[in-house]
Structure 1
Amino acid sequence: MIIVTGAAGFIASNLIKKLNSEGFNHIIAVDRFDNPEKNKNLEDLKIQKKIEREQFFEWLDKQNEKEVEFIFHLGARTDTAEFDVDLLNKLNTEYTKKMWEKCIDMQIPLIYASSAATYGLGEFGYEDDENKISELKPLNPYGISKNEFDKWALKQDKKPFFWTGLKFFNVYGPREYHKGRMASVILHAYKQISDTGKMKLFRSHNPDFKDGEQMRDFVFVYDVVNVMIWLMHHRKNSGIYNLGSGKARTFLDLVKAVFRSMNKKEDISFIDTPEDIRDKYQYFTEAKMEKLKSIGYPHEFTDLESGVDAYMQEMKL
């Protein structure tokens, strides 16, 4: 059996769908199943059992560890505007420490979700060099909680026999409709253009960037899933890895791709970035992907236009 935490969420439900397509149907889905909209992500998936997040470790202790083939720990409090430090520490740091220790005791390989939010403003670049992780300065409590676990993991003398932390960049794609304001800009663009025929972007407040030319590393969720499944089969070269497309693109590129894919005439305007986030606004992110490629990952990543087209096609289904 394969355990997936955060199972009803965006990335995890896409992962389960891909696992099902490869014949892995003994999936243990771990989450809080109290959100009807989010639970729709599980309706078309083959799942052996659902376990509430708070009951998971008790359930795991009763299992024969030989039955558990792999754990994908993707569950977390992912709201970058969450300022309850105790909650983030409990769900993102301490829960993952317990998962790590169980994987050591039961000899279960582990992939867990870190985040590109750990890089902060990118003062130290976006290279997944484990020697630099202690120097990083995340901009919000969410990023801090993820970085604290990364730092803790690297200091441990005992580790799972295979483990990987993945720093997800700006992931977009199907099954994110429940995320509200935390959904990708692509989904927000689709909704705004559908409703108004127009799209508003944040104006640049940095003289080095023109309006709309702020850049992000946008990565298609199917690419993210492919990396995780490849690592599950690979099971060597443990460590912390970036997971982006490796190519920064502008918000204008993104929105123009959405207009084109929707067969709509471009109508883009700009509004001021809210003052309360202006000093923490990232103008450039780009994952350095050489480390993942160096261990043999063979696949190319979907370019933004192709990813938007594929996503928009799914929107129409």
Structure 2
Amino acid sequence: MLVTGGAGFIGSALIWALNQQGVDRIVVTDRLGHDEKWRNLVPLRFEDYLEADDLFARLDSGALGAFDLILHLGACSATTELDATYLARNNFEFTKHLALWALAKGSRFVYASSAATYGDGADGMDDTDNSVPALSQLRPLNAYGYSKHLFDQYAAQAGILRQLVGLKYFNVYGPNEAHKADMRSLVHKAFGQIQDTGKVKLFRSHHPDYKDGEQQRDFLYVKDAVAMTLHLAMTPSAGGLYNIGSGHAHSWLELTGALFAALGREPAVEFIDIPESIRAKYQYHTKAEIAKLRAAGYTARVTPLEDAVRDYVRGYLTDDRRLGDAG
């Protein structure tokens, strides 16, 4: 098995979940760089690691052999990245090359798309129609979302999307995200704010239909995200694009309320303006339609927000633990 982006947030969580199932014949690729995502790998079991830039040379030479399953999580996931050329090469061309290699070798290919492909969600967030005309109607709001959308469109136009599994992850949070800097979830950021100041800063609403703090997101615990991912990976009949979310929309106030409760503190929130640079692209409501995921046989209960936040805070954030750490 090959896991790209295996030191990253969801990638390392997938390896942890596979280890929990007794699977450790895994080749991991990533770009470790200068942050501390290498720490996510320390408690995990796998056969080999190589830098992502060396992957295709090793694949083409046959040095890595064959893979029954490729879980492609490697990508630049920064929604604020402005280098569209870099995103096109890293997120689109790399994925295209690897997908075509997988199909030629008979490997099952599961890759991370993104809910960012839906744009502002004005036309809904339904994953059932994967046709070229339907995908062409989507309008991502940032270059990251477009780089993901570009491959979804390519696969549909090339007639190979049904042979792949593309996962549109919504707002995933949980252990192993500490290295993500500004792309960390609000739970991780707010935990630090509470430790430092006793309160959380939330964006004020600039939309007449939403009160301050009542903007909504589909928040999904990473343990649920990887369970959904592995179910689809191991279900041969599954193919095409799937939303990976909770199927519920919760407000920022509900999320921070769960965080304060997990810490045994009374909520204390300060509202600040949304920066002008992102105000026009700010999403006020996201909710995954997950009927397609359920139809593919995923019947597990999604962890309730309060329970997930409590597990994250008390099991990982308080002691700065990673998935797989003893504790």
TM-score range, shorter chain: over 0.9
Question: TM-score, normalization: structure 2?
Answer: 0.93
Who is 2:222 aligned against?
A: 221
Who is 1:10 aligned against?
A: 9
Who is 1:45 aligned against?
A: 44
% identical equivalent positions: 43
Aligned counterparts, 1:161-176, within 5 A:
162-176=163-177
Per-residue CA distance 1:148-207 (angstroms, 9 max, x = gap): 1101111113568x4200000000000001111100011111110111001110000001
Contact kept? 2:114, 2:145, Cα under 8 Å: yes
Per-residue CA distance 1:234-290 (angstroms, 9 max, x = gap): 122211000010000000000111011011121112111111111111000000000
Aligned-residue offset at 1:315: 1.7
- Give the Cα–Cα distance (whole angstroms) in 2 for the partners of residues 211 and 48 of structure 1: 49
Who is 2:323 aligned against?
A: none
Aligned counterparts, 1:35-184, within 5 A:
35-63=34-62, 67-128=66-127, 129-131=129-131, 132-158=134-160, 162-184=163-185
Contact kept? 2:217, 2:284, Cα under 8 Å: yes
Contact kept? 2:232, 2:296, Cα under 8 Å: no
* SS across alignment from 2:232: helix
Aligned partner of 1:250: which letter? S
- Give the Cα–Cα distance (whole angstroms) in 1 for the partners of residues 72 and 215 of structure 2: 31
Aligned partner of 1:273: which letter? I
Unpaired runs of 5+ residues, structure 2, are 320-327
Question: TM-score, normalization: structure 1?
Answer: 0.96
Who is 2:210 aligned against?
A: 209
Contact kept? 2:152, 2:161, Cα under 8 Å: no
Aligned partner of 2:154: which letter? W
Give the stretch that moved more between structures: 248-257 or 26-35.
Answer: 26-35
Aligned-residue offset at 1:66: 6.8
2:309 aligned with 1:308: yes
Per-residue CA distance 1:197-231 (angstroms, 9 max, x = gap): 01110000001000000000000000111011112
Per-residue CA distance 1:9-55 (angstroms, 9 max, x = gap): 00000100110111111110111122351100000011111111111
2:35 aligned with 1:33: no
Unpaired runs of 5+ residues, structure 1, are none
Contact kept? 1:65, 1:107, Cα under 8 Å: no
Who is 2:325 aligned against?
A: none
* SS across alignment from 2:39: helix
Cα distance, 1:159–1:216 mapped onto 2, change above 3 Å: closer
* SS across alignment from 1:130: coil
- Give the Cα–Cα distance (whole angstroms) in 1 for the partners of residues 293 and 161 of structure 2: 20
Name the Cα RMSD after superposition: 1.4
Aligned length: 315
